[in-house]
């Protein structure tokens, strides 16, 4: 999974407590406030929190982590037993070859179907193979094409993401956006001579996802013409996250003088 950080963030800073500014024009003689308003805080009792508000964005991307290939074996014979024998002979060869290449049984699914076609019997068997290593997938498909006759059809690989990988991508986008926002807030506080405190609010405002798909009106016609790398690229998912964070702002810590 590749992560691509973006540094675009909007920063809004408020270093003066809002409560003080709201009372500034409401004082009357003797230090009293207008009816219904709170009294101004004394210098010793003032505890209003100064804050820095930051919105940050990030974009991450991930290539598909799974691919599925279907191998179709068929035979039409006058006798049902002959059709079964023809299909099962090639089916056994395919499954044995897959096991010799190190594929686990949970990644191989076999379905069989036999039916009458006029005065004959037609049998089909489909082997669905799930790959996590795309290089091994290409080697196995090339091997089967070379060893089996034209009655065996191998489909184009279909690339996809597992639910866990998509959820991890969303989480990574949010975390990178939070990190970008934190860095910006840190730089702002350093610039104005303040110290960044703890976060008071972290909110994800927006989450977007999209794929590098080709044009819809060309996808069906061009899908079979794409190379493996082009198929992987077209199935790559991009996720963008936007977060809003409020941090506490502290005064610059003074260094103690040593006697």
CATH value of 66-160 in 3.30.1490.20, 3.10.129.10, 3.30.70.330, 1.10.287.180: 3.30.70.330
Predicted TM-score (pTM) of this structure: 0.70
The predicted-structure confidence for 191-248, as pLDDT tens digits, reads as follows 999 999 999 999 999 999 998 766 555 555 566 678 889 999 999 999 999 999 999 9
Q: What is the pLDDT of residue 148?
A: 86
Q: What is the pLDDT of residue 222?
A: 61
pLDDT tens, position by position, 173-191 = 999 999 999 999 999 999 9
Low-confidence ranges of the chain (pLDDT < 50): 2-16, 18-46, 259
> Which helix or strand (DSSP H or E) is residue 33 part of?
none
Structure tokens at 224: 């079979």
pLDDT at 251: 77
pLDDT of residue 43: 44
**Which pair of structure tokens corresponds to residue 236?**
């790559």
**Domain coordinates in residue numbering, the chain:** 66-160
Cα 195 to Cα 112, 247, 250, distances in angstroms = 69, 10, 5
C-alpha 91/C-alpha 132 separation (Å) is 22
Predicted pLDDT of residue 258: 55
Q: Are 74 and 151 in contact (CB under 8 A)?
A: yes
156: tokens are 């184009």
């Amino acid at each position: 999974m590749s992560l691509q950080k973006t540094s675009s963030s909007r920063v809004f800073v408020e270093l003066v407590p809002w409560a003080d500014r709201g009372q500034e024009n409401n004082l009357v003689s003797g230090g009293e406030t207008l009816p219904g308003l709170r009294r101004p805080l004394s210098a010793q009792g003032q505890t209003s929190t100064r804050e820095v508000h930051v919105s940050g964005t990030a974009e991450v991307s991930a290539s598909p982590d799974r691919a599925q290939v279907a191998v179709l074996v068929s035979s039409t014979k006058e006798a049902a037993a002959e059709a079964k024998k023809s299909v099962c002979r090639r089916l056994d060869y395919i499954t044995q070859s897959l096991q010799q290449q190190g594929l686990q049984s949970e990644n191989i699914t076999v379905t069989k179907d036999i039916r009458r076609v006029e005065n004959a019997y037609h049998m089909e068997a489909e082997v669905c193979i799930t790959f996590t290593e795309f290089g091994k997938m290409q080697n196995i498909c090339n091997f089967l094409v070379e060893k089996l006759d034209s009655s065996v059809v191998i489909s184009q690989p279909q690339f996809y993401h597992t639910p866990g990988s998509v959820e991890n991508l969303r989480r990574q986008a949010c975390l990178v956006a939070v990190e970008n926002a934190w860095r910006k807030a840190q730089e702002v506080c350093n610039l104005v001579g303040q110290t960044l405190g703890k976060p008071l609010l972290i909110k994800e405002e927006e989450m977007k996802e999209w794929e590098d798909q080709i044009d819809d009106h060309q996808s069906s016609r061009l899908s079979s013409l794409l190379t493996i790398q082009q198929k992987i690229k077209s199935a790559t998912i991009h996720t963008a996250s936007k977060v809003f964070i409020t941090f506490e702002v502290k005064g610059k810590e003074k260094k103690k003088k040593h006697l």
